[in-house]
Structure 1
């Protein structure tokens, strides 16, 4: 047993080759295997405009694109933060409108034996308004201008 690494740990001549080294994957001098977290780089002006406009355009699908863009880029670009919040507030307002129309239509359909169910068609008008206002917001944000939706409950400040 001439190799000191091959000797059992109870032996007084044994030396651990990794003594003093941090565990595998951990950066020296940190308590985390991933190193020190760093802040994301700020967006350039072109990227800021792009993500701000995408926040509005994503509203055509639902509120999720605006929410994701706001959560990811809110600290990286001033325009993106402002426009994504505005788009998200508008999309939340539309969701509230959809729910209200469906509930009222359902209740009226029960009371009027189905005739009140025709109000469900108002959801198409709400969707068309959402698409039009989202496109307008997209075009304004693409030019670097702030856009304020004409009807929105501003829940996120």
Structure 2
């Protein structure tokens, strides 16, 4: 997938004005080998428990983007090297985490794009709690299941329809 978020914003200023294309706040850091990624969103809402992240990434990704609302917690990581590799192996295009990641050297060896708030060495709990396929609020926008997510080094976009 070849695109630049800056070009998408320029080409779709009318969609931005209408709220159909939204730009997430510039709080996300890039991890993973894929510098740019995009696809349909699969959403998770959870807090300091990555059980649902693992079970979702174990399913075929089909070029989709996993969007994880981790409540912005900076107390533990929700994605690490093993989960990134599982996601890459199962065809996920990328992961956007409103929370932390860990194993950054391993993440950067994985063929997947990842955006997260920060790195944190502590792993999350495993309680099996959370919700899938619900609207989630990330800084700058609500992301709904099936929205289109586009990310590169300049930012993360959310659209209600595919962009060209």
The normalised TM-score by structure 1 is 0.26
More helix by share: 1
Which has the higher relative contact order, 1 or 2, with Cα contacts under 8 A spaced 6 or more apart?
2
More strand by share: 2
